[in-house]
Structure 1
Amino acid sequence: MAPLRPETVTSILQSAVLAPSSHNTQPWHFEVDDQTISLYADRTRALPANDPEDRELTISCGCALMNLRVAAAHGNWAANYELLPNSEDEDLLAVVQLYSTEPSNSSEAELFSAIAHRRTYRKRFAPREVSRSIIEELVQAAAKEQAWLQVIDSEETRQAVAALVAEGDAIQWSNPSWRRELAAWMHPRRRGDGLTVPGLVLPVAQAVVRTFDMGNGVGANDRQLADESPVLAVLGTDGDGVQDWLAAGQALERVLLRAHRNGLQASHLNQPIQLASLRIKLQHLLGRSGFPQLLLRFGFAEEEIPAAPRRRLEDVVG
């Protein structure tokens, strides 16, 4: 079989790198060899204060893998992948073999148009109910990737989860190392990564974040966001190892793309999962076995927002 053409690789990887990532770190690296694309974790872009076990880093790479699969299917390529193929190389997360195939009507191919328009929407959603049929689609999307999505329907549980979000904000913002790390990832848009801040106010914004504990104010706002969101849900897995985190990432991106196909946007409020003591509390509130990996909010966006900046493709492909 002839090697992948450069323009095919470029097209597929341009979609892969549009995946979401913590602090928009984009912690992935790709290598291409004939029909094979290898996905590596780029741990130089890790967040040791926010994500000490690289759990969210791995989930982000799983999201990129899902986008790769979707883009391949859209281009009529079958993508056979193996997770963690080399026990001696912990950075090699997946190897994808691509084979030309007939035009596909697969569930992956139909998600392609959503990749470029998915956003992490951190603002308040429109006060509009999401139908049960759409919610069920999202639940099924997670299950397709060996994960689960549990919607928090009870008002009492929703308020308890929102309280955990606020508690998580208070704990994280009280940690100077966490604040310094957050400030370090505040970048002007031209950098192509990080949390975008206009260049003129960037030094002041970084200094404020590094210096002041704003946990109470941020927590109050995030608590309200959680409580008011039309859908609040936890995405989780039965296990809690690297392979489970990759499954969670693929499930997350499939859910986000399926949500966008139904007119929804989403964002996460992961504070109760990033802190071990709160993760146990959240697990208890859910009343089920397994491990919560992401706390998500879904709804209908009230305005268009720009896409987060992306690094140049040549910087993530070797």
Structure 2
Amino acid sequence: MPKDAFPKRGTHAEQFKFLVNYALLAPSIHNSQPWRFRVTGEALELFADRKRSLRVVDPDGRALAISCGAALFNLRTAMYYFGCVGEARPFPDPRQPDLLARVTLDPSKLHPGGWTELFNAIPVRCTNRGPFEPREAPPALEAALRDAARLEGAWLALFKSARVKKAVALLIAEGDRIQFSNPRFRRELAQWLHSARDKDGVPGYAKGVNELLDFTAPAIAYLVRTFDVGNGVAARDSDLATGSPLLACLGTARDDPLAWLNAGEALQRVLLVATAHGFDASFLNQPIEVPALRPKLGGLSAHKYYPQVLLRIGRGVPAKHTPRRPIEDILIY
């Protein structure tokens, strides 16, 4: 969406519809894009789209709320960049638990500065599932990532030593084997392995499959659905983890829907800061998705509270963006 197309003199509704184009660029579990937006008078409402929930890997809706929180942060960032001042109220109506936030504009409020760098990173940020270069991340980046999480009310633990990364990699591998041993998990994952022509899900090119072989997507989904490939996936993910300059665990002091939404906002700020510094990231959330492993990851992070997201951060071969649903599909009229 060209920046100069922003309707400066338009109505709030027209401005909100424009800003949603940036919200939908947020990452989401399996690229499920589990959000809907509704413009109501002078407000924009963010809803969880439960039809896109992942009932096996995310039975409580934690990852869904985190995904929506990331979209909300993109929206806030775009608002401030274009000079729209207002506030986002989380869970404004207890009678509507799927109404995650209501955003309103208030020109009387003081406009916060310093959002240009984050805004410019929104269309650049891309989940990079490939291997990263081994060179270390600079200390300035580490400090900036921790600050990004803190500004959104979360904590971020960074793992750099080979010993700790190996311990985290063992948890990731164990999580892979546990998950892939479950036929229901494999069926759910296979449902989101899509062709590049689709507007959601994970296309083959995001997993390293040549785009000329996109026609094999149904066969790949069949193999994942039918066979327990947990050992192979565990070996690959372990190598990705230990070969990354940084592993990062983001967490919160609470573990409820509001905390999950906040974690998503913190996650997206962290990802945009990494992007602005020229670094990529991808997710290795298996130790969080498997309940028995989550406390062990928390122990490695030296935080007694709740891990929400596990990232790997580094520099790799540029990745291609995964597809997005058109804005018409996510707006509620």
Same fold (TM > 0.5): yes
8 Å CA contact 2:194, 2:218 repeated in 1 = no
The residue correspondences of 1:180-199 to structure 2 (distance < 5 A) are: 180-197=187-204, 199=214
The 1:32/1:217 distance shift into structure 2, 3 A limit, reads same
One-letter amino acid of the structure 2 residue matched with residue 249 of structure 1: G
8 Å CA contact 2:126, 2:280 repeated in 1 = yes
d(CA) in 1 for partners of 2:53, 2:136? 37
Aligned length: 316
8 Å CA contact 2:121, 2:276 repeated in 1 = yes
> Partner residue of 1:245?
260
d(CA) in 1 for partners of 2:86, 2:119? 14
User: Structure 1 stretches of 5 or more lacking a match?
Assistant: none
Q: Secondary structure at the match of 2:265?
A: helix
- Is residue 122 from structure 1 mapped to residue 129 from structure 2 by the alignment? yes
> Partner residue of 2:62?
55
8 Å CA contact 2:247, 2:313 repeated in 1 = yes
The 1:37/1:109 distance shift into structure 2, 3 A limit, reads farther
8 Å CA contact 1:49, 1:181 repeated in 2 = yes
> Partner residue of 1:4?
12
* Aligned-pair Cα RMSD in Å: 1.8
d(CA) in 1 for partners of 2:114, 2:256? 27
Q: Secondary structure at the match of 1:67?
A: helix
8 Å CA contact 1:76, 1:100 repeated in 2 = no
8 Å CA contact 2:253, 2:305 repeated in 1 = yes
- Is residue 19 from structure 1 mapped to residue 26 from structure 2 by the alignment? yes
- Residue 79 of structure 1 deviates from its aligned partner by 3.0
8 Å CA contact 1:38, 1:96 repeated in 2 = yes
- Residue 5 of structure 1 deviates from its aligned partner by 5.0
> Partner residue of 2:157?
150
8 Å CA contact 1:74, 1:110 repeated in 2 = no
User: Structure 2 stretches of 5 or more lacking a match?
Assistant: 1-8, 205-212
Q: Secondary structure at the match of 1:96?
A: strand
> Partner residue of 1:311?
325
The residue correspondences of 1:1-318 to structure 2 (distance < 5 A) are: 3-4=11-12, 6=14, 8-100=15-107, 106-197=113-204, 199-301=214-316, 303-318=317-332
8 Å CA contact 2:13, 2:42 repeated in 1 = no
- Residue 282 of structure 1 deviates from its aligned partner by 1.1
d(CA) in 2 for partners of 1:257, 1:32? 26
Cα deviations by residue, 1:267-303 (Å, 9 ceiling, x for unpaired): 11000000110001111222322100011111112x2
One-letter amino acid of the structure 1 residue matched with residue 26 of structure 2: A
d(CA) in 2 for partners of 1:85, 1:306? 36
- Residue 148 of structure 1 deviates from its aligned partner by 0.5
d(CA) in 2 for partners of 1:196, 1:2? 37
d(CA) in 1 for partners of 2:109, 2:253? 35
Cα deviations by residue, 1:131-170 (Å, 9 ceiling, x for unpaired): 1111100000000000000111343222111100000000
- Residue 105 of structure 1 deviates from its aligned partner by 6.3
d(CA) in 1 for partners of 2:133, 2:188? 32
Runs of 4+ in 1 over 6 A off after TM superposition: none
d(CA) in 2 for partners of 1:74, 1:104? 10
- Residue 266 of structure 1 deviates from its aligned partner by 0.4
The 1:175/1:210 distance shift into structure 2, 3 A limit, reads same
One-letter amino acid of the structure 1 residue matched with residue 188 of structure 2: E
d(CA) in 2 for partners of 1:79, 1:261? 25
Cα deviations by residue, 1:151-190 (Å, 9 ceiling, x for unpaired): 1134322211110000000000111000000111111222
Give me the identity figure in percent.
44
d(CA) in 1 for partners of 2:108, 2:311? 35
| TM-score normalised by structure 1 residue count | 0.95
One-letter amino acid of the structure 2 residue matched with residue 189 of structure 1: A
- Residue 12 of structure 1 deviates from its aligned partner by 0.5
8 Å CA contact 1:19, 1:63 repeated in 2 = yes
One-letter amino acid of the structure 1 residue matched with residue 228 of structure 2: D
One-letter amino acid of the structure 2 residue matched with residue 304 of structure 1: P
- Residue 2 of structure 1 deviates from its aligned partner by 7.8
d(CA) in 2 for partners of 1:35, 1:108? 23
The 1:113/1:2 distance shift into structure 2, 3 A limit, reads closer
Q: Secondary structure at the match of 1:233?
A: strand
Cα deviations by residue, 1:8-35 (Å, 9 ceiling, x for unpaired): 2332100000000000000000000232
8 Å CA contact 2:166, 2:242 repeated in 1 = yes
